[in-house]
Amino acid sequence: MRLLITAGPTREYLDDVRFLSNASSGRMGYALAEAAARRGHDVILVSGPVALAPPEGVEYVSVETADEMLQACLTALPRADGVIGVAAVCDYRLANRQPGKIKKTGGPLRLDFVETPDVLAELARRKGDRWVLGFALETTEDRAAALEKLRSKHCDWIVLNRAEAIGSEATAIEVLDAAGQTVLDSRGAKTVVADRLVAWIESAAASR
């Protein structure tokens, strides 16, 4: 298969030196890219800024903002059989990025934010005959929220994971299908879970 995988966080700049982001390490996305390449698949890895070396044998595209990630993914999508959306894309950006460096004034600082592009939803909207597997990191009412994300973004499956996985080398995942059924449940080192997930994807994609 030819797989498009997104990984890592994105950044949205407030001014020329400060940005809004999150604590995603990129480990899960990189582990999936490495496992898929090792199993003989062609991988395009679109990654936000992380402290990880790209896995060997993958096509690597480095991006920073949500807009950059979306454009890179749209360029790669026609060559992919399926999408694995692991990236923790920043949901908001400053409505008007400030030039230079915002200075202290001695008073409150009020900023207006607008939503960034929904990379996963946009790829799923354009998927055609491709399949899309999304990731949902939830903190409360996690299962219901993950299923809502699956349906609203038109994914084929959703991987539910939790905040404890952020920055960790281990994870626990539950893969849900459109009917809300658990089709894979796995926990352990992200490298081990990634290999199990890719093996499951191979079977699930073949039976579509």
CB contact set of 78 (below 8 Å; sequence gap of 6+): none
What letters, b where the CB count within 10 A reaches 16 and e where it falls short, cover 20-57? bbeebbbbbbbbbbbbbbeeebbbbbbbbbbeeebbee
Active site annotation includes 22: yes
| Active-site entry in 21, 22, 71, 191 | 22
Measured between alpha carbons, how far is residue 189 from residues 28, 70, 192, 196 in Å?
A: 10, 29, 5, 11
Chain centroid offset of residue 92 CA: 15
Catalytic sites, residue numbers:
22
